Amino acid sequence: MSILANKDTRVVIQGGQAGVNAARRMAEFCYLIKRPLNVEAFVYPPDAGKTNEIPYGSGLLAIPVYKSIAEATKNHPTINTSLVYIGADRAMKGGMEALDDSHIKVVSMITEGVPEKDAKILGAHARKLGKVFNGPSSIGIISAGSCRLGVIGGAFDNLVLSKLYREGSFGVITKSGGLSNEIIWICSQFADGITTAIGIGGDAYPGTDYVSYLEMFENDPQTKAVVIVGEMGGDLEERAAEWYGAKKRRVKLIGVVSGFCQESLPKGMKFGHAGAKEGMKGEGSARSKSDALKKAGAIVPPTFGALGPAIKETYQELLKSGQVKEVVEPASLPKLPKTVEEAMKADEVIVAPLIRTTISDDRGDEPCYDGYPASELINKGYEVPHVIGLLWDKRLISKQDAEIIKRIMMLSADHGPCVSGAYGTILAACAGIGLSQSVAAGLIMIGPRFGGAVTDAGRFFKYAVDNKMSVDEFLTYMKKNHGPVPGIGHRVKSLRNPDKRVKELVGYVKSLNIKTPCLDFALQVEQVTAAKKDNLILNVDGTMAAVLVDIGFPVDSLNGFFILSRTIGLIGHWVDQKRQDSRLIRLFDYLVNYAAPKRREVPPLK
Amino acid sequence: MAKVLEGPGMGLMKKWGIHVPNYVVVTSADELAKLGQANDWMKTSKLVAKAHEALGSRFKLGLVKVGLDLNGAVAATKEMIGRQVGSITVSQVIVSEMIAHKEEYYCAVKSTREGTEILVANCGGIEVESNWDRVKRLCLEVGQTPSPDALEKLSKDAGFAGPLTKKMADFAGKMFTCFDSEDAQYLEVNPVVTRESDGELVALDAVTLLDGDAKFRHPDWNFAFAAEFGRAYSKQELEVMAVDSKIKGSVKFIEIPGGDTAMLPAGGGASVYYSDAVVARGGKLANYAEYSGDPPDWAVEVLTEKICSLPGIKNIIVGGAIANFTDVKKTFGGIINGFRKAKSDGKLKDVKIWVRRGGPREKEGLDAMRALKDEGFDINVFDRYTPLTDIVDKALQGK
């Protein structure tokens, strides 16, 4: 047996995320005691019509959200309890709505900071209707082995440690949410555990007080003793004492009260909960409460630390008198399924990875490139080309190689608005397309005829050098197997109108006195081809390709240098058009040779 | 509960039709002199000047001056502004007219579990304190308003007679309306006096406690609440309050000068049991603190820094019950950061740290605390199997 919350309790939760979190905790408890989830519905107008996903065991339950209590109870007529998780400024309205619904008998308000006047009105309204209004600021209610309302009881492990999966003999009533768990724990360690534990909230005038619940515990034969945890302020503990002393009670009462420190502190210093305030004339002090409880015959340990032994003593007496029997613990309890992450941490499961990476790791506090933390690279003077080296070829390149890459990037960052890439980006920008799509439109142009010959040029020059071909052998091989040599030839540049970028790059690399077999070979090829036709010169793609192969970059990465460099220019063009607020452009018809058939009649459809 | 100083308190009473003396709140003598030119009552009435601060026993401190003319009030203001009393600097003075009267009465409205009580006595001032049996009560249920008949009966029961009966009944009725409409928790006027000039009842002094939680529906509460323990909040306390107002959950901090046991416990309930345990052991609290409701780790870090900066501390009690939903690892992360910062600033020398806690992710949190030992902290860590306040006993064993 239990009070207030039992196996027939069906719940609606009023509120958003905090309510969902509570439902998850409640589902853990339901899973532990092998019962279906006791939350039937949520009421939260912003999410009405949706469902909230609540994990139960290893599955997921979809719990509907309604816009009003009436709608929830109409669809789920077994609902008899509401938990209120609505903000303090709207809590009163929500609480009233629940109290006024004929299905609902118990309303527990978790909301903190509810105006005192509102709490009093809610409490009085509930009493008038013969219902229970628990809270505000309540941590919840839990009946061991049958029902959990709210987050009271804490994490799953604590539910098990505190033996909340089965009934004990002690009732618990506390103002403090944090201490409720502590007392439940103490009852499970020093005695046989609890029947029901209730957080009444630390406000000055909770809707239901110790006496309301003491009365219920007195009528619950399973509950043999009740522990109340009080604090200075108000008169709730005095009223509990008065109730206990009024006549012979079946239940034993054990009580502790906090606030003795007030006696040696500056007067009026406010501690702890809203209700914890001593009256003007000493009433409500810890001492007066403690004395009142003692006088009424309650067991009052001198300090909180003495509470455990006091509970133990009471339990031993109950055992001796035969009022309670030793509890036999169940042989096994359900275990909360672990998430994949938890199971992996505990070495209990192997997961086949979906992808594999060998270059980058983001799991620490900063990314590591091929194992090197980004900040350390920065602080030790490394630059963008080194990051390219790490991510594209998994090696830390030399300062000299980095300088070559930097120069390649600077030389190929842009080539004016007329080339396919830039024109593609500008066309998209003028059509009002966003940055990433417009840049992508430009990048799409990179291919065999524009900027995309670097990889192939590198591949064939390298092939020739690796196979020690002569220029003639190479040109014959190319003509027979592949066609024109990639990296040779330019649309507008020629021997008489040389490409300054090529001259610059070749001049620099040559000045370094390093071995450049590919570049040397490419220059020899140029001498032969340019002699045949004056625009068959080594172009910038070919030069880059040869140099990059010479400093060790893999052939497949070579187009990347052009894509990366030119992206700088493409972004520039997009921003430039955006800055000018450019208008939509379209071709003029005089720029089109309309070579389509003349207008003609459409024949009848056959 | 939130205490309101006399000025705004009298403002609220005036708003609900209760007669109060003319008054002004000023921040300088010059301002008062200027106001004196603009307001006739200041030239014609005898005046009272009081320091407008949350200070007890102002009379003894010479911060109340009576029977002044305008020049006297200006001089008194000049003298009071800037005076240092403990941690408070007087920055405001309230100057009001003295009301010539013979009789003094008492009226208060207070919140009770059942509803509201209206208290009336036909004696006032210090006389009512020693004659508490002469105070008569009218108890009202939640949602009930007092009828004129009930108020008149109360007035008669308290010993009022003749035309004064109705006047006191009206006065009490207005006090109730003010109480009810302003989300007050306690209103007290002592004394209520009969103004000789027109025979009206006037509130001479007011104690006003409002429900701070109801501020959201009172846009005209444009005044700050006063500290309730006879001193102003310190800079450190205000900084923690500013954090508290911004976050989910709560962090609280009050300094108690002269103590050597610093408190950093979790939970509004457990924190007081920890304080009790320190006092019971003969220790001296250096502060009160509390964090709860799963506050963000940075907020707990701020709180920790303040606590580590308390002068002359020997022990820090990082206590707590078994949390329901406060993430122990996360909140301890904030505390650990605070400890590290304090240590690198040269604090926490010869300070022992005592930890006891349970709740979600307790193992990870406690392990992280234990690891501080390797960084040179003098720290002792206990789990749920050590009773709540035993760490206080261990910390203060030498006492």
Percent of chain A exceeding pLDDT 90 equals 86
Task: Out of A21, A124, A266, name the one closest to residue B141 (CB).
Answer: A124
Tell me the per-residue pLDDT of B5-61, one tens digit each, with 9 for 90 and over: 999 999 999 999 999 999 999 999 999 999 999 999 999 999 999 999 887 778 888
List, for residues B336-366, the tens digit of each pLDDT value: 999 999 999 999 999 999 999 999 999 999 9
Residue B115 dihedral angles phi and psi, to the nearest 5°? 165, -110
Mode of pairing for the β-strands spanning A140-143 and B378-382:
unpaired
Q: What is the CA radius of gyration of chain A?
A: 40
Sign of the alpha-carbon dihedral angle for A417, A418, A423, A427: positive
Question: Which pLDDT score is estimated for A275?
Answer: 57
Can you name the CATH fold of B235-395?
A: Rossmann fold (3.40.50)
Q: Can you list the pairs that A164-167 forms with residues at least 24 positions away whose Cβ atoms lie under 8 Å?
A: A164/A29, A164/A32, A164/A188, A164/A193, A164/A194, A165/A32, A165/A33, A165/A330, A165/A333, A166/A193, A166/A327, A166/A329, A166/A330, A167/A1, A167/A2, A167/A143, A167/A193, A167/A194, A167/A195, A167/A222
Using the Cβ of B17 and the Cβ atoms of chain A, whether some distance falls under 8 Å is answered with no
Q: Provide the shortest C-alpha distance from residue B187 to chain A (in Å).
A: 13
Q: Is the pLDDT of residue A345 over 70?
A: yes
Nearest C-alpha neighbor of B290 from the set A285, A267, A113, A273: A273
Sign of CA dihedral A579, A581, A583, A584: positive
pLDDT confidence tier of residue B396, bands split at 50, 70 and 90: very high
Query: Please, what sign has the CA dihedral across residues A76, A81, A84, A85?
Result: negative
| pLDDT one-digit tens code per residue, B126-153 | 888 888 889 999 999 999 999 999 999 9
Q: Which of A227-241, A566-580, B54-68 has the highest average model confidence (pLDDT)?
A: A566-580
Q: Which two tokens stand for residue B209?
A: 């406690």
Q: Could you identify the residue written with the tokens 């999410």? A: A47
Q: What is the DSSP string of A153-179?
A: T-SHHHHHHTTTTS--SEEEEES-HHH
Between A and B, how many residue pairs show a Cβ–Cβ distance under 8 A? Answer: 187
A178 and B278 in contact by Cβ < 8 A? no
Dist. CA A181–CA A176, nearest whole Å: 9
| Bridge partners, residue B117, by sequence | B110, B139
CB-nearest partner of A113 from B213, B276, B279:
B213
Q: Residue B145 pairs with which residues in a beta bridge? A: none
Active site residue: A273, A386, A490, A573, which one? A273
B285 touches chain A (CB under 8 A): yes
Q: Which CATH superfamily is domain A11-260+283-320 in?
A: Succinyl-CoA synthetase domains (3.40.50.261)
Q: Where are the domains of chain B?
A: 22-97, 104-217, 235-395
Amino acid letter at B212?
G
Name which of A112, A120, A151 is nearest B324 (Cβ-Cβ): A151
DSSP A354: S
Chain A touched by B213 (CB under 8 Å): yes
N-terminal to C-terminal alpha carbon distance within chain B: 36
**Mean pLDDT, range A242-258, rounded to an integer:** 96
Shortest distance between the Cα of B269 and any Cα of chain A, in A, equals 5
Q: Which two tokens stand for residue B130?
A: 């020693």
**Could B359 and A158 be called an inter-chain contact, meaning their C-beta atoms sit closer than 8 Å?**
yes
Measured at the alpha carbon of residue B384, what is the angle toward residues B377 and A225, in degrees to the nearest 5?
150
- B387 min Cα distance to partner chain A (Å): 6
Chain A contact for B270 (CB, 8 A cutoff): yes
Contact A46, A19 (CB under 8 A): no
Q: Which of A154, A268, A302 sits opposite B322 (nearest CB)?
A: A154
Q: How far is B168 from chain A (nearest CA, A)?
A: 24
Residues A288, A279 contacting (CB under 8 angstroms): no
Three-state secondary structure readout of chain B:
CEEECHHHHHHHHHHCCCCCCCEEEECCHHHHHHHHHHCHHHHHCCEEEEECCCCCCCCCCCCEEEEECHHHHHHHHHHHCCCEECCEECCCEEEEECCCCCCEEEEEEEECCCEEEEEEECCCCHHHHHCHHHCEEEEEECCCCCCHHHHHHHHHHCCCCCHHHHHHHHHHHHHHHHHHHCCEEEEEEEEEEECCCCCCEEECCEEEEECHHHHHHCCCCCCCCECCCCCCCCHHHHHHHHHHCCCCCEEEEEECCCCCEEECCECHHHHHHHHHHHHHCCCCECEEEEEECCCCHHHHHHHHHHHHCCCCCCEEEECCCECCCCCHHHHHHHHHHHHHHHHHCCCCCCCEEEEECECCCHHHHHHHHHHHHHHCCEEEEECCCCCCCHHHHHHCCCC
Quick one: pLDDT at residue B320?
96
Residues of chain B neighbouring A121 (CB-CB closer than 8 A) = 142-143
* Smallest Cα distance from A178 to chain B, Å: 5
Q: Which residue has 């997009």 as its token pair?
A: A574
Peptide bond into A136 cis (omega under 30): yes
Nearest to A115 among B213, B275, B276 (CB): B213
Size (chain A), residues:
606
Flag whether pLDDT at B215 surpasses 80.
yes
User: A343 vs chain B: nearest CA distance in angstroms?
Assistant: 16
Does the domain at residues B104-217 carry the CATH identifier 3.30.470.20? yes
CB contact (8 A) between residue A124 and residue B185: no
CA–CA distance, B202 with B208 (Å, rounded to integer): 16
Segment B74-131, tens digit of pLDDT: 999 999 999 988 777 899 999 999 998 888 999 999 998 889 999 999 998 888 888 8
CA distance A156 to A396: 49
User: Could you tell me which chain B residue has the CA closest to the CA of A269?
Assistant: B229
Mean pLDDT score, A467-487: 94
Touching check for A290 and chain B: CB below 8 Å? no
Q: What is the average pLDDT value for chain A, to the nearest integer? A: 94
B242 vs A185: CA distance, rounded Å? 35
Q: Which A positions 304-333 lie with beta carbon below 8 A of chain B?
A: 304-305, 308
Residue matched to tokens 């593609």: A424
Name the pLDDT band for A450 (thresholds 50, 70, 90).
confident
Return residue ranges of chain A for CATH 3.40.50.261. 11-260+283-320
Average pLDDT of the segment spanning B232-238: 86
Q: Is B31 exposed, middle or buried (0-12, 13-18, 19+ CB in 10 A)?
A: middle
Q: What is the pLDDT of residues B248-306, one digit of tens each?
A: 889 999 999 899 999 999 998 899 999 999 999 999 999 999 999 999 999 999 999 99
pLDDT band at A381 (very low <50, low <70, confident <90, very high): very high
Query: Running DSSP on this structure, what letter comes out for residue A485?
Result: P
CA distance B88 to B233: 9
Handedness of CA A590, A593, A599, A602 (dihedral sign): negative
Is A151 within 8 Å of B141 when comparing Cβ atoms? no
Q: CA of A24: which chain B residue's CA is closest? A: B325
Structure tokens at B306: 């303040």
Task: Identify the pLDDT of residue A282.
Answer: 55
Chain A positions touching B388 (Cβ under 8 A) are 182, 304-305
Q: Indicate the burial class of B59 (C-beta count within 10 angstroms; 0-12, 13-18, 19 or more).
A: exposed
φ, ψ for residue B185, nearest 5 deg: -110, -20
Rounded to whole angstroms, the maximal C-alpha distance in chain A is 121
pLDDT category of residue A273 using cuts at 50, 70 and 90: low
In this complex, do B272 and A261 lie within 8 Å of one another by their Cβ atoms? yes
Highest mean pLDDT among A84-88, A491-495, B197-201: A84-88
Q: Does B113 touch chain A (CB under 8 A)?
A: yes
When mean pLDDT is compared across A94-103, A281-290, A374-383, the lowest value belongs to A281-290
Three-state DSSP at A369 gives: strand
Distance of CA A304 to the CA centre of its chain: 39
- Cα A377-A379-A383 angle, rounded to 5 deg: 50
Q: Does B278 touch chain A (CB under 8 A)?
A: yes
At A280 the pLDDT is: 47
Q: Does the structure show a pLDDT above 50 at A51?
A: yes
Cβ of A115 within 8 Å of Cβ of B256? The answer is no
Strands A140-143 and A194-199 come out as antiparallel
In B, residues 60-79, which contact A (CB 8 Å cutoff)?
none
Q: Does A281 have pLDDT greater than 60?
A: no
H or E element at residue A340: helix A340-345
| Residue A524 per-residue DSSP state | H
CATH superfamily of B22-97: ATP-grasp fold, A domain (3.30.1490.20)
pLDDT score at B206: 87
Looking only at the bridges linking them, the beta strands covering A51-56 and A132-134 are unpaired
Cβ distance A182 to B275 less than 8 Å, yes or no, reads no
How does residue A284 score in pLDDT terms, banded at 50, 70 and 90? confident
Side chain identity at residue A78, one-letter code: T
pLDDT of residue A285: 87
CA distance between the termini of chain A: 85
At residue B399, does pLDDT exceed 60?
Answer: no
Give the residue on B whose Cα is nearest the Cα of A120.
B142
Q: Which of B145, B272, B284, B389 to mutate to test the interface with A (most CBs of A within 10 A)?
A: B272
Residue A360 has pLDDT above 60, yes or no: yes
Instruction: With beta carbons under 8 A apart, name residues in chain B contacting A266.
Output: 229-231, 256
Taking the Cβ of residue B182 and every Cβ of chain A, the question of whether any pair is shorter than 8 Å is answered with no
pLDDT of residue B113: 86
Q: Is A174 on the interface with B (CB under 8 A)?
A: yes
- Say yes or no to pLDDT of A264 above 80: no
What's the rounded Cα separation, in Å, for the pair A269 and A285? 13
Mutating which of B276, B281, B288, B386 best tests the A interface, going by the most A Cβ atoms within 10 A?
Answer: B276
Q: Is B271 on the interface with A (CB under 8 A)?
A: yes
- Asked if A305 lies within 8 A of B387 by C-beta distance, the reply is yes
Read off the pLDDT of each residue in A591-602 and give the average, rounded to a whole number.
95
- Asked if B256 lies within 8 A of A121 by C-beta distance, the reply is no
Check: CB of residue A281 under 8 Å from CB of residue A288. Answer: no
The percent of residues above 70 in pLDDT, for chain A, comes to: 97
What pLDDT score was predicted for residue A128? Answer: 95
Distance CA A436, CA A415 (A): 20
CA distance A164 to chain B (A): 14
CA distance A548 to A408: 9
The two three-digit tokens of residue B366, written as one number: 């406690």
Pick among B130, B292, B325, B397 to test the A interface (most A CBs inside 10 A) = B325
A5-41 pLDDT tens trace: 999 999 999 999 999 999 999 999 999 999 999 999 9
Cis peptide before B191 (omega within 30 of 0): yes
How far is A265 from chain B, CA to nearest CA, in Å? 8
- Which of B:21-60 have CB within 8 Å of A? none
HSE value, Cβ hemisphere, 13 Å, CA-based, for A153: 36
Q: Does A345 touch chain B (CB under 8 A)?
A: no
CB B118 within 8 A of CB B86: no
A490 is catalytic: no
